[in-house]
A and B are shown apart, each in its own frame.
Chain A
Amino acid sequence: DAKTTQPNSMESNEEEPVHLPCNHSTISGTDYIHWYRQLPSQGPEYVIHGLTSNVNNRMASLAIAEDRKSSTLILHRATLRDAAVYYCILSRGDNNDMRFGAGTRLTVKP
Chain B
Amino acid sequence: KAGVTQTPRYLIKTRGQQVTLSCSPISGHRSVSWYQQTPGQGLQFLFEYFSETQRNKGNFPGRFSGRQFSNSRSEMNVSTLELGDSALYLCASSWTLFGGAYEQYFGPGTRLTVT
Which residues on the B side are within 8 Å of A36 (C-beta)? 106
Across the interface, do A91 and B100 meet the contact criterion of CB distance under 8 Å? yes
Interface SS, A side = loop
Report A87-101 residues with CB < 8 Å from chain B CB: 87, 91-101
B contacts, CB < 8 Å to A = 4, 31, 33, 35, 42-45, 48, 50, 55-56, 58, 90, 92, 94, 97-101, 103-109
Complex formed: what's the CA distance from A51 to B101 in Å?
A: 8
Q: Which 8 A-B pairs have the closest CB atoms?
A: A96-B99, A43-B106, A93-B100, A100-B43, A46-B103, A32-B100, A91-B100, A44-B106
Complex formed: what's the CA distance from A44 to B92 in Å?
A: 9
- A32-B101, A96-B94 known; 10 other A-B pairs, CB under 8 Å? A31-B100, A45-B106, A91-B99, A93-B98, A93-B99, A95-B98, A96-B55, A97-B33, A97-B99, A98-B45
Q: Given A100-B42, A101-B42, are A94 and B100 also a contact pair (CB < 8 Å)?
A: yes
Interface SS, B side = strand
Count, A-B residue pairs, CB within 8 A:
75
Complex formed: what's the CA distance from A87 to B42 in Å?
A: 11
Q: Nearest residue in B to A31 (C-beta to C-beta)?
A: B100
Which residues on the A side are within 8 Å of B108 (C-beta)? 42-43
A contacts, CB < 8 Å to B = 30-32, 34, 36, 42-46, 49, 51, 87, 91-103
Q: Given A42-B108, A43-B107, A44-B106, are A96 and B97 also a contact pair (CB < 8 Å)?
A: yes
Identify A43's interface contact among B50, B90, B99, CB under 8 A. Answer: B90
How near does chain B come to A103, taking the closest CB pair, in angstroms? 8
Which residues on the A side are within 8 Å of B58 (C-beta)? 97
